Amino acid sequence: MIHINLLFEEMKEFLLYDLMQVEKDVEFKFIRYPLVALANQDWEELNLYTVTEQYILEQGVEVPREQVWHWLTEELGAREATLDLVLANSKDIFFYTRGQYGEYIHRINLEWTEEKENQLLDWVG
């Protein structure tokens, strides 16, 4: 037996998502837990990976890890481990070891092309 408060604390995110999804609000689309999009938003490719990559791209420069982490956890409500998962699986985000925790830049902002990558591989190979 457990207290309802414990159950609520463990399930409140899922409960809210399910309740809002049942309401069929025309302002939102419930894509896949935990993601919610505005009804007029293109969401076929929407996931935390693409949203994070897009955020870093839109900054146009190197972005401190703390800034990306804060944006993901505080503004989007993602879990703390999300950033590490995104960065470990992204081929478009590069890590710099400047700053206390490092910085990230998008491949496009770095002007990193497949040709440059091949030149580097030839040079080190």
Print the SS3 string covering the chain. Answer: CCCHHHHHHHHHHHHHHHHHHHHCCCCEEEEECCEEEECCCCCCCCCHHHHHHHHHHHHCCCEEHHHHHHHHHHHCCCCCCHHHHHHHHCCCEEEECCCCCCEEEEHHHHCCCHHHHHHHHHHHC
Please say whether the structural domain 47-125 has been given the CATH code 1.10.10.10.
yes
Give the model's pLDDT for residue 5.
87
Give the model's pLDDT for residue 43.
63
Q: What is the mean pLDDT of residues 54-78?
A: 90
pTM of the model as a whole = 0.64
Q: Higher-confidence residue: 35 or 116?
A: 116
List the domain boundaries for the chain: 1-43, 47-125
pLDDT digits (tens, 9 = 90+) for 12-65: 888 888 888 887 667 887 776 777 777 777 766 668 888 899 899 999 999 999
